[in-house]
Every structure is written in structure tokens, then in C-alpha cells.
Amino acid sequence: MTIVPERTQYDLLFSQQAQRGAHLSSILVDLPNEKPDTISLAFGDADPHVFPTREITASVHGVLTEDVDAILNYAPADKRLLDLVQNRLERRGVAVNPSQLMITYGSSQVLGLLPQILVEPGETIIVEGPTFLGAVEYFAAAGARVETVPVGPNGMDIDALASCLADLQRRNIQPKFIYTIPTFQNPTGTLMPASARARLVALAAEYGVLVVEDDAYGDLHFKAEMLPSMLTLPGSEWVLHIGTFSKILAPGVRMAWAYGPPAVMKRLRAFKSESDCGTFVTRLVSHMAQDGWLDRHIGMLQSHYAAKSAAMVQAIAEYFPADVRTNIPEGGFFVYGYLPNDLPAVALNDVAIRRGASFLPGTTGYANGQGTHEMRIAFSFQTVPHLVKGIAHIGAAMREMRAKNS
């Protein structure tokens, strides 16, 4: 990860955390400039073609005619949205205590608050490698020492986690939390099986470490039934679960939730300085979700993204050399690839961009510089014809590099 030191006349004023955090979003720094017509398969933006603009417009009118005085004034969190999230968690078997549930401005808000309540500089946290580096950057800015546990074909390698925890204990180090994305992981798309989830939570309980279960893609499954949230497993008193409306409604609404142990929620609330989220948008989301609309919408999104994923997998089979190994996602937004030695990802991306398409090099998912021969390819944003064309460009770039090297 390239960290660009930033020097300004304000340096004497910044807190140490702000100085460390000056490289936040350095993921972007690592990427070469794309041309305006580059088919970007780098970022996991939602598909604008499935934004529910008609329903949002109708709901804006709906909520404004309901109770405009309350909706546009200071007010506590909209109870209807809390009820909606509670209901969705209960349908997954979670015994919800409403006092442990909180609505937030995106799950990013929780990820940003977490180090404030858990991490002193130099303290240790555990993350998957690769992972959603956007989250790890918040933790690293707080001064966290980041331990990386590898991700295999079934998500986080739980044997490696067990060794990591035992090793830290031997060295008298108390890790603060384990950050995991068990369902359609970003970036690998992997799905952690139920048995591994159970082992992970049991280990967390044994060692007294919080598990942060980031469930950003949980609803976007293509064929598998939903696996249990870690909140339903023995040891769940060690689990903080984070979910978001970003992938199932629209990232721009910035609505998400957190559910976890009372003591953790109390501190998260204390540090969420603006108190509850805006009544207008919270009401908007609950208004849209009513009468089963959200369930129907999620069903449509599942088929939509499944078709795009299938198109990408097929294009990869057609255009990539056979020794590039890729996963076949069962949900989420991403295909993840493992490149042979002669195709380093950053150099390949340069050639691909010259040919008209880009992807996200694997190093952007690791806090420790690994992933030089890995690639994340997002099928979420581009249309099917574009993503097929993008894969063809990347495949041609692979052949071009090989021809030059041979």
C-alpha cells in the first residue's frame, strides 16, 4: 500500500490519529489514472439501473404528507425503521433485544466509531487477508497493530485464526476485535460455512475478543440459502453485527444498522455524536419497505446480480488464459482471481487500462503488502455487454504481457 506523506502548514495542529489517517483511501492512490471511456471493473458500486427511483419519489411524497412537522424536526430515531431491522434479524433467528439495535449513517459510520471505543495506539486487531481495506484504514489510523489471517476458498481460515489467537495469548497480547465478512466477502466473494462460523464465535468467546460480523452483502445470495448470522450462535454475546441498506436499496441513502452486546452499543451510541440518524431519511426507508416491497426488491436484485455474475464467469472462461484461477461467486458483487507468476496484477492493470478496462489489484485488500498476484473484478456496476467487453480487454492484456515476456 503506498502511503503518500502529506505535509501542510497545519501539521502542528493535527492529532496523531489525524496524521496517521492522512493516507485514508490510499487504495485510490495505488491505481493508475483511467481514461474517461475505461470500462472500470475496479469498484463495487451498485448498479444504477436497479435503483428504485420511482419508489423513492413516491415515498418522498408519502412521508411528507404523513407528519411533516415531526419528520423535518429534531426527533428520535424512527421507530418503524428499527422495527423493520428487528423483524429482518428475527426472521434470521436472532432473538432481538431492541435496546441493542442502532441505526447508523452507513455501516462505514460503525467501522469509523469502532476504533474510537476499542483501540489505543499499539493495540492489536485481527482482520482477514484480503479484506475490505476501507475498514482497516479506519482501524490503522487509530494506531491499531493489524494481524492478518488468510482467507481460503471458504472464507477466513479458522485454523490459522486459532493459531493466531494462541500465539497472541502466549505473548500476553489481548486482541481487541476480529473483523470478518463471512458472507460473500469483499473482495474474495467467499462464503464461510456454518461450521466455521460456529468455530470462529466459539474461539472469540474462549479468548474474550469481540467479533465484528460485517454483513454488507448477506442478502444478495444467488442460490445458497442464508447461512446463520453469528448472532444466532453460542457465544453470540461476543458478536457485533453490522448490516446496511447500501447494497439492497442504494448506497446514497446512507442507512445501516448495528446490533451487539449492550456495553458495546452503549459506547457506540455515546460516540455517535449526532445522536439518531435523520428522521426524514429513516422514515423514507421504512416507508419504502412496507407491505413486503423490500423483500420483493431484494428478490429482483438477487436475480439481477446473479445474471451479471454468470455473464462475467462465462466471459472469464472465454477470454482469460486457463491458468488464471477465479472463484465462482454465490452472491455479492465480486469475482476474485489468482494470477500466475508472470502476470503481476499492478502491471497487468496498466496494460488492461491501455486496452480499455480496469480491475482492482489484490494488494489493495491487504494491510501487509500481499496480493501482488491477485485481482478483484466487480460485476455489480457495469452492464452485461460492458462487463463482457471489459473481461475481453483484460484477457487480451494478459496475452499481450505474455507475448512481450516470451
Ligand X SMILES: Cc1ncc(COP(=O)(O)O)c(C=O)c1O
The CB-of-25 to ligand X minimum distance in angstroms stands at 12
Tally of CB atoms within 10 A around 224: 11
Give the nearer residue to ligand X in terms of CB position, either 265 or 388: 265
Binding site for ligand X (CB under 6 A): 44, 106-108, 132, 181, 186, 214, 216, 244, 246, 251, 256
Give the nearer residue to ligand X in terms of CB position, either 188 or 236: 188
DSSP string, 123-164: -EEEEEES--HHHHHHHHHTTPEEEEEEEETTEE-HHHHHHH
- The cell for 114 is 469502532
The CB-of-229 to ligand X minimum distance in angstroms stands at 15
Taking the C-alpha atoms of residue 248 and residue 324, their distance in angstroms, rounded to an integer, is 31
Give the nearer residue to ligand X in terms of CB position, either 106 or 362: 106
DSSP state of 77: P
The CB-of-167 to ligand X minimum distance in angstroms stands at 26
Give the nearer residue to ligand X in terms of CB position, either 114 or 388: 114
Q: Which of 188, 181, 234, 189 is nearest to 212 (CA)?
A: 181
Taking the C-alpha atoms of residue 60 and residue 13, their distance in angstroms, rounded to an integer, is 43
Taking the C-alpha atoms of residue 376 and residue 312, their distance in angstroms, rounded to an integer, is 12
Taking the C-alpha atoms of residue 286 and residue 19, their distance in angstroms, rounded to an integer, is 39
Give the nearer residue to ligand X in terms of CB position, either 123 or 214: 214
Q: Which of 137, 187, 124, 189 is nearest to 367 (CA)?
A: 137
Give the nearer residue to ligand X in terms of CB position, either 217 or 238: 217
- The cell for 33 is 489514472
The CB-of-400 to ligand X minimum distance in angstroms stands at 31
The CB-of-269 to ligand X minimum distance in angstroms stands at 18
Tally of CB atoms within 10 A around 25: 10
Name the closest residue to ligand X (Cβ).
106
The CB-of-343 to ligand X minimum distance in angstroms stands at 25
